[in-house]
Amino acid sequence: MTDVVRRPGDPAGASRARPKKQEQEKASEEVTEVAPGVLRMQLPIWMPGLGHVNMYGLIDDKGLAVVDPGLPGPKSWKALKSRLATAGLRLKDIHTVIVTHSHPDHFGGAGRIKHETGAELITHKAFTTWSLDRRSQTLSTIDAERLEQEAIDEAAAYTGPSFEELPALAGDFDEFTVEDQRQSVPWGGPTPWGGSTHPMPSLKRRVMIRAMRLVYRPPEPTRRVRHGSSIRLAGRDWFAVHTPGHTLDHLCLYDPEHGVLLSGDHVLPTITPHIAGSANGDALHSYLATLDLVAQLDGVKLGLPAHGHPFDDVPGRVDAIKEHHAERTEALRAVSLAIGPAGVVELSHELFPQRHWGVMAESETFAHVEHLARAGQIERWNEGDRLVYRVAPLPGG
Ligand SMILES: [Zn+2]
Ligand SMILES: [Zn+2]
């Protein structure tokens, strides 16, 4: 899915002439060792604000595990094999694939690797992706290059799965089920905040997307891990850290021996990941809580993100992202105070410049306004099929 690109603390309306962000850089052909036994291999992606995804290769004496093997499609597949060759590795050396979360730039190549190598495929317990429509399986010829573009378009339009409430940090992170995830909003379906619908791709495009899925199958995990599960990679134990917020099924991996955090899209070096609101929970609360969780990991010293360069100050980056959301939340309160009772669409139009209007901006606004509502700082009620919000009067005000 798309990560909305904004600088932390930068209202979306600021100047358009910005230096290129590291997450936007085109995929380099270089393969670099970024931590002991951990290779960074960049795969090309074509999504708003993103130029590459980092596939990490974790080397051990049996071969390697790869994390987040890129978008579906022949271009990414070719780059993946070429990067392996640069590192002196072959496809069949891959014994494990780990997917940090259910966005196509992360899971796209996973099903094909599993199919061709028999690799184990590890995700969080709640992982799910688009479901294959069996009725479309009669398509006989597939133009892979053309389909790739369709998949990319879909990736750009992807609005993310639904969200359930985060249990207390001290409690169980794993009460989510795959079924919770499957209740994501369908194409053309109403949004939970009302007043708009999710965009429906053209019939031709929907058919093409389904055909694409036959070649680059949505991955079916062979092992679903829980918060705290241990996974042996690169000859040492890593711990699964469940980090819901960007998606419900987001997983980071932590290597306490070297203080290395594979941070996926949870913590990125210069941009903030999109937080999709849900009718069922406070996604922003979950996100902020699990940011604290990774910042507080004992001895964390190196973040390996899914987009952008390795970064060394994970707690500092967490502080900056939290600050961004605090500013956003404050801006939302101010807008609500200024315009009075309003729905999510209206609020998002006040918060985002017109070029960003649409379901993504609304979904992000929904996450923030629900966060305030659940904290008792904004009132919410239904008007027809639409949720309406108003800043709660200050005590004595
Ligand atoms: Zn993502
Ligand atoms: Zn991503």
pLDDT for residue 283: 85
Report the separation in Å between the CA atom of 247 and the middle of ligand 1, taken as the mean of its atom positions.
Answer: 7
Mean pLDDT of successive 10-residue segments in the chain (397 residues)? Answer: 41 54 94 98 87 97 97 90 98 98 89 93 81 33 40 40 27 35 53 81 66 67 88 95 87 95 97 82 86 90 97 97 95 94 96 88 92 92 94 64
Instruction: Cite the DSSP H helix spans in the chain.
Output: 74-86, 104-107, 110-117, 144-157, 178-182, 203-215, 283-295, 314-339, 344-351, 359-374
Q: How far does residue 102's CA lie from ligand 2's centre (Å)?
A: 9
CB distance 191 to 199 below 8 Å: no
The tokens describing 34, both together, are 């970024």
Ligand 1 center to 101 CA (angstroms): 7
Cα 100 to ligand 1 centroid, rounded to whole Å? 9
Tell me how far the alpha carbon of residue 265 lies from the centroid of ligand 1, in angstroms: 5
Backbone torsion region of residue 65, taken as left when φ is above 0, otherwise alpha when ψ lies between -120 and 50, otherwise beta: beta
Ion ligand 2: protein residues whose beta carbon lies under 5 Å: 105, 265, 306
d(CA 121, CA 45): 21
Q: Could you give the domains of the chain?
A: 22-326 (3.60.15.10)
Q: What angle do CA 383, 387, 393 make, to 5 degrees?
A: 95
Give me ligand 1 centre to Cα 2, in Å: 7
Closest listed residue to residue 386, CA positions, set 196, 201, 187? 196
Distance 2 CA to ligand 2 centre (A): 7
DSSP 250: -
Q: Are strands 63-67 and 94-98 parallel, antiparallel or unpaired?
A: parallel
Ligand 1 mean position to 1 CA, how many Å? 5
The rounded Å distance from CA 291 to ligand 1 centre is: 15
Strand partners, 197: 190
CB 64, CB 22: distance < 8 Å: no
User: How many angstroms does the Cα of residue 93 sit away from the middle of ligand 2?
Assistant: 25
pTM (global) more than 0.85: no
Q: How far is the CA of 139 from the centre of ligand 2 (A)?
A: 30
Decide if 173 contacts 227 (C-beta within 8 A).
yes
CA atoms of 267 and 314, how far apart (whole Å): 8
Q: Which ligand is nearest to the CA of 43?
A: 2
| 297, 254 contact by CB (below 8 A) | yes
